[in-house]
Amino acid sequence: MKMVKSALLVSAASLVAVAGAQAADLPVKAKPVEYVKVCSLYGAGFYYIPGTDICMKVGGYIRWQETANPGNNVSGGPFNGTGGRQTRLDSQDFAQRTRAVATFDTRQQTAYGTLRTYLLMGYSQDSTAAPSTAPAVYMTRGFVQIAGFTFGKATSFFDFTSTAAVAYNAGMLYNSDTGDAGQMVAGYTAQFGNGISATIAAEQTRRRPTVNLNTSASSFNITTLTNNAGNDLSGLGATNIGQQDIVGNLRIDQAWGSAQVSAALHDASAGYFTGSEVSGHPSDKWGWAVSGGLRLNFPMIGPGDYFQIQGIYSEGANGYLAQTNGGNTVNFWSGSSVGYGFWSDGVYTSAATAGGTGGSIQLTTGWSMFGSYEHFWTPNLRTSVYGTYVEQSYNSVATTAICTTQGGTASGFQGATCNPNWSSWAIGSRSQWNVTKDLYVGLDVIYLKLNSASSNATNTGVFAASGAKPASTAAQPYTVADQDTWAATWRIHRDIVP
CA distance 153 to 120: 10
Return the H-helix or E-strand segment holding 212: strand 210-212
The amino acid at residue 361 is I
What's the whole-number average pLDDT of the chain?
Answer: 84
Q: What is the average per-residue pLDDT within 212-219?
A: 62
Exposure class string for 89-126: b at 16+ Cβ within 10 A, else e: ebbbeebebebbbebbbbbbeeeeeebbbbbbbbebbb
φ/ψ region of 357 (left if φ > 0, alpha if ψ in -120 to 50, else beta) reads alpha
pLDDT digits (tens, 9 = 90+) for 431-465: 999 999 999 999 999 999 999 988 865 666 667 78
pLDDT the model gives residue 229: 42
Cα 224 to Cα 81, 398, 463, 474: the distances in Å are 12, 20, 6, 16
Query: Bigger pLDDT: 58 or 329?
Result: 58
pLDDT band (50, 70, 90) for residue 130: confident
pLDDT digits (tens, 9 = 90+) for 288-340: 999 999 999 999 999 999 999 999 999 999 989 987 655 567 888 888 888 88
Ranges assigned E (strand) in 364-438: 365-378, 381-393, 422-434
Q: Is the pLDDT score of 52 beyond 80? A: yes
Cα 49 to Cα 38, 46, 141, 234: the distances in Å are 10, 9, 21, 52
pLDDT band (50, 70, 90) for residue 82: confident
Residues 175, 368: contact at Cβ < 8 Å? yes
Q: What is the average per-residue pLDDT within 13-36?
A: 55
pLDDT the model gives residue 153: 96
DSSP per residue over 139-159, as a string? Answer: EEEEEEEETTEEEEEE--TT-
Closest CA to 317 of 261, 271, 361: 361
Let me know the angle formed at the C-alpha of 369 by 70 and 192, rounded to the nearest 5 degrees. Answer: 120
Does the bond joining 131 to the residue before it have cis omega, within 30 degrees of 0? no
pLDDT band (50, 70, 90) for residue 388: very high
CB atoms within 10 A of CB 141: 19
Instruction: State CA 247 to chain mean position distance.
Output: 17
Domain residue spans of the chain = 63-95+157-495
CA distance 309 to 76: 21
Q: Is the pLDDT score of 64 beyond 80? A: yes
pLDDT the model gives residue 329: 78
Q: What is the average per-residue pLDDT within 13-29?
A: 51
Q: Is the pLDDT score of 4 beyond 60? A: no
